[in-house]
Structure 1
């Protein structure tokens, strides 16, 4: 019996109960990368993400020996403004350092557009 056949048999006998996803469940379904957390934060595609919540993780091993001690980091491919390293029990949201450095591209200076 294939896994799909077993699931179909289970649903036919017990019924199907759809449950809404909670916030952590939704975050768990986002794509994941494995990265180290250094003094500057987490680097992904030439962007350094940093926040005070990363302080307990800096220069420490995650304990996942199969991934070389790297941390699991989830990101939204449509929202490059943040990423979320998975910590036991909670999530930390990191922001790219470059967004705090100055004005965003194509942003009009104050007073220019009236």
Structure 2
């Protein structure tokens, strides 16, 4: 029986290494690009979360200020306060002699 010899023919090992290195480099670059994109998205999401929180705090502050200003307006417009101020300033209720009647059909600035 004859022993068959197997001879392994190797291709250009330098070319194989270059192709492998190029593929490996492309995969590494792709992974890095995806990682950077993922991190960028996460950072942007966190930043937007902080902006939303700040906006909500500002909205709550504005609503509280609006309530305080509305209460202050109601206090300043109250008839009791206005009447008291008028009395302090010497105002009095008009008498019949103080009233001036104008005909309804006459408009101010209209010539007859």
Do both share a fold (TM > 0.5)?
no
| Higher relative contact order structure (alpha carbons within 8 Å, sequence separation ≥ 6) | 1
Return the TM-score normalized by structure 2: 0.20
Greater helix share, 1 or 2?
A: 2
Return the TM-score normalized by structure 1: 0.20
Greater strand share, 1 or 2?
A: 1
